[in-house]
Amino acid sequence: MADIPKKYVFHQSSLKITKNTRKALRDALIQEFLKEDGGYVKDGIKYVQAYRYDVETLKDGKKIYIQRPAHLNKGMDFQVCAEGLVKYKNGKDKPPSHSDIFKDLKLKKSEDSNKFSQLKEMIHRVWNCEEPDDIIKKSSISFTGGFSIESILKIIKWLFIEQDMTYWSYDGRDMLKSAIDEEFK
């Protein structure tokens, strides 16, 4: 069977989800995804519905966003992106990988281990479904290198949610959190 040509139909909107449990976050996001139009084939062309949801706004106005479908196409999966943070060679936003996050955390730990301990506690609070903006309000720590505290916490929030969606029958967000805890004992 020959490949059917694809045409992407792009949609962009803002989405704010603030819930205090893993299940509530996952359920709210699924309810949003259920509103999406499905793809279809017409006149020999496969129309793929592509979505960008701006989910966080940074102090500098840049957005953290999720986009669907992701490369794995598992149905409810998505990629977490951050405007201007990590780029492909063509200049487009590249989803920050776990490796990018770990590299940044290592940089911060080497800069100041005491402040890094505070950052780890902040990450724990995000893992525990607290909102990054609420956590940041109560802290004055900063680092000279790497991603901003705001960026890292808001990206990690959505990486945790992504893992809750993809691995909800397993341990979800605990996978990334355990890896951070293990790497930064």
- 55-75 confidence digits (pLDDT tens): 999 999 999 999 998 876 566
Q: How confident is the model at residue 170 (pLDDT cuts 50, 70, 90)?
A: confident
Could you give the CA distance from residue 101 to residue 107 in angstroms, rounded to a whole number?
A: 10
In a domain, 77, yes or no: yes
Q: How far apart are CA 51 and CA 166, in angstroms?
A: 17
Determine the pLDDT at residue 2: 67
Which domain range does residue 171 map to?
6-183
* Positive or negative torsion for Cα 61, 148, 121, 97: positive
**pLDDT band per the 50, 70, 90 thresholds, residue 90:** very high
Q: How many domains does the chain have?
A: 1
Give the whole-angstrom CA distance, residue 136 versus residue 44: 51
Average pLDDT, the chain: 93
Euclidean distance between CA atoms 69 and 79, whole angstroms: 8
Write down the pLDDT at residue 3: 85
pTM over 0.85: yes
Residue 95 scores a pLDDT above 80 = yes
Q: Is 60 domain-assigned?
A: yes
User: In this structure, is residue 69 part of a structural domain?
Assistant: yes
Q: Is residue 150 part of a domain?
A: yes
Is 27 domain-assigned?
yes
Residue 1 domain flag: no
125 domain-assigned: yes
Q: What is the pLDDT of residue 76?
A: 78
Residue 163 lies in a domain: yes
